[in-house]
Amino acid sequence: MGKPSRLPAGYVERAVAEMLATRDRMASTAQIPFGHCPGCGAGLADPASFVQEFWVADEARFLVWCRACGFTGTVVKVERFETHETAE
């Protein structure tokens, strides 16, 4: 068994209720550095889609679920990207 939660009883339930009661639930997307699905290009402003930032060490990552195409994946912001052009 894991350790018992150190959060006060009902903390998570209250936090979720407050989030759902927020009038503009997408206001926090201002920090998300992309606005479209990497799978199909649909806008992710639709409140039915899902973007959640999380961190692994000091690297920000975004869990994305797109309502339009069903894409589910993790988007990682990179500082620099190098690639080679493929031969056709």
65 makes contact with Zn ion (CB under 5 A): no
63 makes contact with Zn ion (CB under 5 A): no
Q: How far apart are CA 1 and CA 73, in angstroms?
A: 30
Q: Which of 29, 32, 39, 50 binds Zn ion (CB under 5 A)?
A: 39
Q: Residue 34: what residue type?
A: F
- Nearer to Zn ion (CB atom), residue 39 or residue 53: 39
Contacts of 52 (CB under 8 A, 6+ apart): 62, 63
68 makes contact with Zn ion (CB under 5 A): yes
DSSP output for 48-62: TSEEEEEEETTEEEE
Q: Which of 32, 61, 71, 75 binds Zn ion (CB under 5 A)?
A: 71
- Residues at the interface with Zn ion (CB under 5 A): 37, 39-40, 42, 66, 68-69, 71
